[in-house]
Structure 1
Amino acid sequence: MKEENKLKEVDLYKPIQNYFLNENYEVYSEVKDCDLAAVKDDALVLVEFKLNLSVDLLIQATKRQRITDCVYIAIPKPKHRLNSKRWADKCHLVRRLELGLIVVSFSGKRAKAEILFHPSTFSRRKSKAKRASIIKEIDGRSADYNVGGMNRAKIMTAYKENCIQIATYLDQHGPLSPKALIEMGTGKKTSSILTKNYYRWFERIRRGIYVLNEKGKQEVKEYPDLVNYYLKGLHPKE
């Protein structure tokens, strides 16, 4: 694309101005560092422009909320799908900041402003179920074996710890039943873990009796701290 054909922030002004004029607002540009100001009766609307949805734009817009509750951010309509998770997450953030969002689409010489959503009060209700899930996961871990930001495939979860505990006891004591393992402290999920066999570590040699297979023996060696923890007779929190 030629330099002169590239979008500029000023290209957003006219279609947004037309939108508010059609809504019977008086519209003014560059008022006290605000890109656009629109007034109707006692209502004051402020709009800040950028060529992409950036942190700088959000900071600028939230500062305008010191002046009025009715603040919009405006950007060119993204080329990617507006039903993507990434876009939905961005919109969630904008809504959480109680800002409105305007996108401007360009087709040839025509430009059109579209209000995706207006500024409104955001409900900040907490999810009791998600909170309980996090607390349950923490309670199921014996210690912190992860580093924040690490790859998901390497994360040590309470479930994986439980699998390692079961594997350690099977490796140490040989064939065992779920009941025997539970009595050793492996917890109420023992039967489910052995049956589902997510990591393919366990083998049922006869009804109700399991052993640790070679794959399990090799892979469990990758977690010496946990193996030693369980061999010392310590058990995870219940």
Structure 2
Amino acid sequence: MPIQTETELYTPIKQYFEERGYTVRGEVKHCDLVAIRGDEPPVIVELKKSFNIPLLVQGIDRLRLTQEVYVAFELPNKGRAPHRLAWEDIRRLCRMLGLGVMTVQFYKRKKPAVDVVCEPIPYTLRHNKRASQQVIHEFHERSGDYNVGGSTQQKLMTAYREKSLHCAYLMRELGPLSPRKLRELTGNKDVSSLLQKNFYHWYVRQSRGIYHITPLGEKALTEYAHVIASIPKNETNMPDTFVTIT
């Protein structure tokens, strides 16, 4: 039976890269899956239920960020290439575009099988180094993998949201705090801007230079309790404090 959503491809492909020493995150700067190993360039995988033109367009767009781009989809019924093509046709097309191809085959009683149809080859399109660095920066700023690749119309756990939660958590545990104190506790040099913009309305300025958590902030800590629980704690005497997010 065909998969219902492209998100079902995420876990098997994530495991495939993790078994090869990569760290994987989902939904990083609009990329379905990003895998990084050491100082190597990022690997980006775009996911779709089936092989189609929008998938290829997405893959081509990601070539601005890295040469290591794959398009991935469910292996069609009986292993046949999609659209009545031969697999060699698919390989030739994607090689000309500079894209790699991955498929996932699902079974009833055993784990899905991931197959690399072809590897990406260098492409002559000039990379957008700034955009690539933004992907890498966002990847490393996150403390864990809280999104499922391929998700749509859902709130994503970004590095900015994590840092905002960190501040809200400290306010709840320690009471009203100043930007300076929050900067010391979090290691976030941009904490003043975060408090002033107050994008999520999680804070209120009680007095000059002193901020406290709002009911919306309390609600967010409950909603994202799984994020707070999974972040490693530091070694200070503060109760259940986040590890420093820089």
- Normalization by structure 2: what TM-score? 0.47
Q: Which has the higher contact order (CA 8 A, sep 6+)?
A: 2
- Normalization by structure 1: what TM-score? 0.49
Q: Considering only CA atoms, is the larger Rg found in Structure 1 or Structure 2?
A: 1
